[in-house]
Every structure is written in structure tokens, then in C-alpha cells.
Structure 1
Amino acid sequence: MSDSPVTSEENKEDNTLDFTERRMQALAQENTQLRAYVATMMQRLHTNDELFGRLFQLEAAVLAAGDPEDMCFTLLRELRSQFSLDLVRFWLCRDSIIGTSPMNALSSHDLVWIEAGEIEHVGLAKRDVYLIQVEKDGFPWLEETDKSLGSLALLRLGSAENPFGILGLGAADAARFSPEQGTDFLQHLAQVIGLSLEHAVSRERLARLAITDALTGSHNRRFLQPYSHQPLSRWFGKDVSVAALYFDLDDFKGINDRLGHQAGDEALNQLCDAIRRHVRTQDPLIRMGGDEFSLLLSGCNTDKAQEIATNILNDVNGLVCNNEQIRISVGLACSAPTEDITLNTLIAKADKGMYIAKALGGNRIEIAAKD
């Protein structure tokens, strides 16, 4: 017996209601998922916005750094504070472009010098960034004090063909630098830091060349310009005695005329080498022009300066250039701790002493008379 028309209509209404209810539930579920997705995307946008804000601050600090040492020190400080890292460390190649830059401000924990080929040997040259799970993967350059690290990001500095260092970022959280994560941000960071350091090294080299005498490797007169007309305390600090020695190669014109300019150049280099053997590396030696040099000795009184000058004079007396003995005339001037004269004045006094030594026959030291 077939259904009555009334029953058939009721079934149609029930089916319609059931379909509508299921559709509403599906829409509600889709709406919930969409809200969750939007919330996730908004959170990511917020996180990325914060991340790029910190990156902008970091890049601004890097660009404001004056030299490679200052830049590395700034990076260590900013990366630790801005990104809450448990380890920030440079591994830099000693024989690379950055190897000639002084890095005295960085501790042995912050900077480790490595030898040529070590980056390639451990397989870090091929990619910009490597993410490592420390417990699982290990890393041979880590130290005993790094045992607490869970993950590590290794950023190659320089090109794949010519890397000059690795920047390591470490975290105790093993999930912080998981190999499954994207590395776009870290790649950008590696490129910015690498290029910035290369440019800083180039600027430093150009600045050094501008104040360096090409023949002898000593400073040139341009080295003195920033402080020459200022009191000695602006350069050497207050209450510090400063001595100046002024050297002139005796019969330099005769050496050039008799033996040639190449012999004259050799004599100048021998003189500079002799001077350097008796002073500290931080004591500036300046070629004033021709065969004249000045030497500045911080924290040195007249007696000590005379002792140094005597040692240099005796050393030079043992030098021979093309079978001719090298002789020098030396002038000495000293500024007492309470006497804050200008650098130019001190050097001029030593210069006068040198001319007196030369007038008396040379191969001697003369102390400039006090005013």
C-alpha cells in the first residue's frame, strides 16, 4: 500500500530541515575554522611585525658601527638582547679579509679564530643557514660550556666560494631552531651581516692606507692631523708624560747620490725596523717627510726616552746598507704630566734637538732645551 500524500509531504519537510541543519552546522564549523585561521594569520603578522621591527633596529645598530670590531661587539650585544639567545658566537677565518682587523674587545667565548678550509671541512660552505638539533646532530666547534644548548642556527658569512666566517645563534630550547623551520629571516640576516662586515673591513683598510706610508709601513703626516693642534691630553689622557723622538738619517742625500734611490729606500726601512725593535706596538712612528721620522712615547719621562733613543742609536750603528754604515741624528723632547702643550709643539721641540745633533756632527742624541 503506497504512502498517503500527507506522509510524503512530512518526509520531504523532515529531509529539508535535516539538510538545512547539517548545512548550518557545516557553515558554523567552517566559520570556526576560518576564525581560527584568521587569528593564526593575525598572530603571525604580529610576530613578523615585531621580528622585522627588531631586525630594523639591529640593522640600524650595525650600520652605525664604526669598524669591524665595533660591529661584531654590537651584533653580540643586540642579538642576545633583541632575540633572547643563549649563545651568540663568531667563528672567523684568520687568513680571510677580516683576519687583519683587531678584535680585542671580544672575548674568547664570543670569538673563535679558525684556520683556512675549516668551514668547508665541516660542510658549512654550501648553504646560507644550517639548523641543528644539538643532541641529535652535534657540532664539533661547540665547547664544554655549551652543553645546555638544544638547537643551533649557523649562518655563513661571505659567499659559498669564499666564506670568511660563521655566526652561531644558540638556544636551550631544542625547538627554537628546528630543521623543519623556514630560514628566510636567517638567510636575510646572514647576508646583511656578511655584507656589512665586508664593507666595514674595506672602509677600515682605506682609512688605514690613507694614514700609512707606503714605503716603510709607518704612519704618514696625515695620521697626526686630527690631534696636531690640540693639547696632548686629548690624545694621551690627562696627567701623562709624553716624549717625542725625532730621527734624521745622516747623509741621506749622499746615499741616494752614491748608491741610488733603491739603496736609500732600503736604509729608511732598516731604520724603521730598528726603531720598532725598541718600542711598543702602540707607540706611533710617523714619517714626517723624506728621511725624517718622529716617534711618540706615552708615559715616558726624559730619562726613559733617552734610554730608548740610545738603544735605537746603538742598533742603527750596526746597520749596513750596500757596504755603507747607517748613521742617524736624534732629537728628544718631553712634556711633563702637568705641562699640557700641543702635539705640534712637542714634535717641533724634538725637531730642534735633531738639528742641533746634526749640527754637532750627527750620530748623536740631543735633548731639546726647555722653554
Structure 2
Amino acid sequence: MQPDLTLAEENRELRQRVSILHHKAERNEQLLRAFFSAELDLLSCITLAELLDYLLNHFRQDFNLSAVTLMLLDPEDMVQELLDGSARFNHFPGLQLIRQQQPLRDLYPDSSLFCGEATPHIITTCFRGAEDVQSCALLPLIREDCLIGSLCLGSSDPGRYSHLLRYDYVSHLASVVAVCMENAISRETLQRLSSIDPLTRALNRRALSQQLLREIKRCNRTGEPLGCILLDIDHFKPVNDTHGHLSGDKVLRDISQLLKEQLRETDSIARYGGEEFAILLPGCPEPEATRVAENLRKCISQTLFSGHQNQALRITASLGITICEQQHTVDADVSELTESLIQTADQALYFCKHNGRNRVSFMPCLLKVSAQQ
């Protein structure tokens, strides 16, 4: 009987092992499906902000992680500028932008994946502020043999990540993330270069035309008025002639920065000409647009600007205003309306220039409603 009992025990143990292996196989299949789905989600992210939002928020939830953080090499603030210009997201608690590559080299001395215990040094470096991280996977992001970042996955389960196991799917994920990151940054940088004035970092004239079309359609859809301002720096040529073009360029940059600081995030600022700026104010009726323009005029006149060699410069500006009402957009030709708005604001600006400068003038849109009926 004893041999039979031994055989029964062996069969029971064998069935248990088969059950465990089957359970592991099912778990691995589910995990691979989840990673395949995550890879598709990563590849579907169009903008850098969407990619970061998925990694730092949705990925953590989908894979039941305690923390997900991301370190990115950003020596020239390119990533920061792209995020600052994003209309959808602007704050990522798990994102750390670094100027030097050394912290990444310290994490990855041999540029290979790390899986194992979350040591105090790793917690301080990668999961600062995160709660209950016991084990972790640190994924080096490498493009063209250059270490560009680190994706850090933290778990409260001490056995979730171990140096004794292989994590080929995690290594593959690191490659996908690095490619998606590089593509998103490159795509948005090119798009930004095509729409941003390189000197002032305001919109260029082409981008203004596109934005004006969008705002006119919004005006038609919502019924809210659209304020349109043309701002011209008074006596700008003497600044270039007396202090040099480098000083003139600095004044233009400083004026652009001042406008960005004084206006809302929903407003649009473009460099329209040499020393002219166009400003679009969605949802602004005439009294509000006039108040905004007057505040800008005062702010510029009261600011002490400095030239290329820090020489003090006093600058004033003239501002012409017009308003696009919903009635202007009914049955109107949109291209004609955009031209009329700019032309009207320009005529209001012309009035300022020939009546003393350093002033604000309003003129109703020249497009006659009756002509559209």
C-alpha cells in the first residue's frame, strides 16, 4: 500500500505544479495583453502632454502601481517650453526635468534595466514624495546610444520586481516609450517652429491667421464677442538707430514677455510686423477690450526697459481696437471678415499714430451687417 500512497502523493503534487504553471501562464498572458494595449495607447498619443499624462496617471492605474515617475533630460528647456505652451495640461507631479545627464548615469552606470528593492537612494532620487514603494523597475530611456531619461515604476509589493527574474516586456516598454517621447518632442518642436516668431516667441503672422479663423468660428458658435487689438511701439526706429538693432531686438522680446504676463492664457499674442503685435481677446466686448488695451498701454509706458548693454529705455505704444460680434459672422465670408477686423484695428491704430501716439483708439468693425443679408 505504501507505494500506492507515494504514487498518489506524487500525482497530487504534480497536479498542483501543473495548476501553478497554468495560473502563471494565464497571468503572463494577461500581462502581455495589458502591455500590448499599453503600447497601442502610447503610440496613439499625439502630443507630449498626452504622452506624459498617460504614463504618469493612466499607466499607474492600469498596472496597479504605487508610483510612476519620469526623469527627462532637458538641457535647453525645450520640453518645459512645449509643456508651457500646451493648452491641455501644464502640471505633472511625477515629472522631473534635469539639465545634466549625470543623475541618469548614476542610476544606469551600464545603461541596463534595474529591477529590485527600492533602496533609500532610489526612493530619494526617483520616488521623492511617493508613498509605500517597496520594489521598483527603473527603465533607461535610450535613443541613438544617448541616455535621455528614466521611467520609474514603483510597487508596494516587495516581490513585484526582483533582480532574480527576467522582465523582457519591461525592457521592450522602455524602447517604445523612448521612441514615442522622441517623436512627440520632435513633432511638437517642428510645429512650434512653424508657428512661433523666433525672436519674440509670440505667434507668427501665419499662426495668427489660423487662430483668428478659429476665434471667429467660436464667436459665431457661442455668441461671445472677439476683441482684436493691433499694438505698435512708438518711435521704434530711433531705438534701433541710436542703440543698435540688438537693443531693438531685446525691447521686442521684453514687450512680448510683458504682454504674455499681462494677458490671459486664452488670449493670443502674435508678432504681426516689425514692431507691431496683434492680440486676440476671446469673449471681450468693447468696454473690456478697451480696458485691457489701456492697461497694456500704461504698463508699457511705466516700465523701464533696458537695451543690449543695459542702457535704460523708455518705450510707449499705441493700440487700435475693434470687436467681432456674432452678427458679423452670420452669412459672412470668413476670409473677408478676418481682413476687415485687421484692417479696422489698423485704422484705429493709424488714428492713434496721427493724434499724439501713446494712446488707445476703438473703431467698430468695418464689415457692414446689412451687406451680409
Scaled by the length of structure 2, the TM-score of the pair is 0.72
Structure 2 residue runs of 5 or longer lacking an equivalent are 367-373
Residue in 2 that maps onto 1:280: 263
Q: 1:218 to 1:237 in 2, by over 3 A?
A: farther
3-state SS, counterpart of residue 207 of structure 1: helix
Residue in 1 that maps onto 2:347: 352
Q: 1:181 to 1:236 in 2, by over 3 A?
A: farther
Residue in 1 that maps onto 2:61: 81
Q: Choose the corresponding residue for 1:307, options 279, 283, 294.
A: 294
Residue in 2 that maps onto 1:63: 43
Q: 1:174 to 1:349 in 2, by over 3 A?
A: same
Encode CA deviations 1:87-131: one digit per residue, 9 max, x unaligned. Answer: 222233453653443178475643344552452464335333211
Given that 1:132 and 1:152 are in contact with CA atoms closer than 8 Å, whether structure 2 keeps it comes out as yes
Distance 2:342 2:34 in 1: 49
Distance 1:335 1:235 in 2: 8
Q: Choose the corresponding residue for 2:154, options 135, 158, 170.
A: 170
Residue in 1 that maps onto 2:370: none
Letter in 2 for 1:308: N
Distance 1:182 1:153 in 2: 11
Distance 1:250 1:368 in 2: 20
Residue in 1 that maps onto 2:320: 331
Question: What does 1:102-181 correspond to in 2, within 5 Å?
Answer: 102=83, 105=89, 109-114=93-98, 116-117=100-101, 119-120=103-104, 122-134=106-118, 139-141=123-125, 142-143=127-128, 145-146=130-131, 148-158=132-142, 162-181=146-165
Letter in 2 for 1:110: G
Between the two proteins, the alignment pairs up a number of residues equal to 341
Structure 1 residue runs of 5 or longer lacking an equivalent are 1-21
Residue in 2 that maps onto 1:368: 363
Encode CA deviations 1:235-279: one digit per residue, 9 max, x unaligned. Answer: 899475543321235577x769x949x945753551452253252
Is residue 2:175 matched to residue 1:191?
yes
Structure with the largest fraction of helix:
2
Q: Which moved more, 1:154-163 or 1:165-174?
A: 154-163
3-state SS, counterpart of residue 84 of structure 1: coil
Distance 1:119 1:160 in 2: 19
C-alpha deviation, 1:49, in angstroms: 3.3
Letter in 2 for 1:332: I
**CA RMSD in angstroms, aligned pairs only:** 4.4
Residue in 2 that maps onto 1:289: 273
3-state SS, counterpart of residue 85 of structure 1: coil
Residue in 2 that maps onto 1:98: 79
Given that 1:274 and 1:312 are in contact with CA atoms closer than 8 Å, whether structure 2 keeps it comes out as no
C-alpha deviation, 1:177, in angstroms: 0.2
Distance 2:269 2:36 in 1: 42
Scaled by the length of structure 1, the TM-score of the pair is 0.72
Distance 2:34 2:138 in 1: 19
% of aligned pairs identical? 23
Distance 2:257 2:218 in 1: 25
C-alpha deviation, 1:194, in angstroms: 1.5
Question: What does 1:203-242 correspond to in 2, within 5 Å?
Answer: 203-232=187-216, 234=218, 238=222, 242=226
C-alpha deviation, 1:159, in angstroms: 5.0
Letter in 2 for 1:54: A
Residue in 1 that maps onto 2:371: none
Q: 1:152 to 1:237 in 2, by over 3 A?
A: farther
C-alpha deviation, 1:226, in angstroms: 3.5
Letter in 1 for 2:227: A
Given that 2:250 and 2:307 are in contact with CA atoms closer than 8 Å, whether structure 1 keeps it comes out as no
C-alpha deviation, 1:353, in angstroms: 0.8
Given that 2:72 and 2:97 are in contact with CA atoms closer than 8 Å, whether structure 1 keeps it comes out as yes
Distance 2:146 2:210 in 1: 37
C-alpha deviation, 1:179, in angstroms: 1.3
Residue in 2 that maps onto 1:16: none
Given that 1:132 and 1:138 are in contact with CA atoms closer than 8 Å, whether structure 2 keeps it comes out as no
| Bigger radius of gyration | 1
